[in-house]
Amino acid sequence: MAKKPSPVHEFFRKTIVSLKRKPSTIPLLVLGLAFLVYSLNLTQISNTTALINGPQMGLAEFATMLLSVLSLVCFMNAFPHRKKANIPMLVLMVVLVCVIFYCDHYYGGCIQNAVTREENRISMTGANIFVANAKNMLRIHQILLIAGLALTALLPVYSKLLKKINTNIEVEDNGSMGKLDLSGDA
């Protein structure tokens, strides 16, 4: 009788099997996490935009949200199931993520200018703590974007490594396979 694996072990085995079949899930999850981080902190970004009211800050905020959704759609179309990668969609996704990174960099620069200017300097403490939170979130968002692009670029490398992982289940033989009559005489 074969030993039944634990539910936790079986969950991890099934997860590895699904990643072996579709390794592009890993960078998709990282880019999805970047989108979630930005979306869930959108109130702090909007409050910062309203307080600082710098040139094109609202546009950068809007472009980041819109292009984040579009980059996820492009990524899913770039790696169709059990087909070769769609190179034009992959290139478009990389361009969109680079524009998102630039928008984050521009927005962070507007925050930096507002807190370091000589007159009417904005404080990042007290009632304006959301400005500091927005600036920190932008750094985290940029790191996640870089990680997503790196994982996308390294996809051929770690997909080969994933395929080397043994996910087979050991099944014991009861020894009666040789005694089966396959002649069809009943």
Query: Domain residue spans in the chain?
Result: 24-154
User: Whose CA is closest to 74, among 87, 100, 92, 62?
Assistant: 92
* Contact status, residue 59 vs residue 33, Cβ threshold 8 Å: no
What does the pLDDT read at residue 178? 58
pLDDT digits (tens, 9 = 90+) for 20-32: 888 999 999 999 9
Query: What is residue 179's DSSP assignment?
Result: G
The rounded radius of gyration (Å) of the Cα atoms in the chain is: 25
SS3 for 135?
A: helix
* Contact status, residue 171 vs residue 60, Cβ threshold 8 Å: no
What does the pLDDT read at residue 163? 84
Query: What is residue 123's DSSP assignment?
Result: P
Instruction: Please give the share of the chain, as a percent, with pLDDT higher than 90.
Output: 61
Provide the b/e sequence for 119-139 (b: ≥16 CB within 10 Å): eeeeebeeebebbbbbbebbe
| Residue-level length of the chain | 186
Report pTM. 0.83
What does the pLDDT read at residue 16? 83
State how far Cα 181 lies from the chain centre: 54
User: Whose CA is closest to 5, among 166, 168, 173, 176?
Assistant: 168
Band (170; pLDDT cuts 50, 70, 90): confident
Q: CB under 8 Å to 139, separation ≥6 — which residues?
A: 108
Mean pLDDT estimate for the chain: 88
pLDDT digits (tens, 9 = 90+) for 21-73: 889 999 999 999 999 999 999 999 999 999 998 899 999 999 999 999 999 99
What does the pLDDT read at residue 15? 86
The better pLDDT of the pair 174, 156 is held by 156
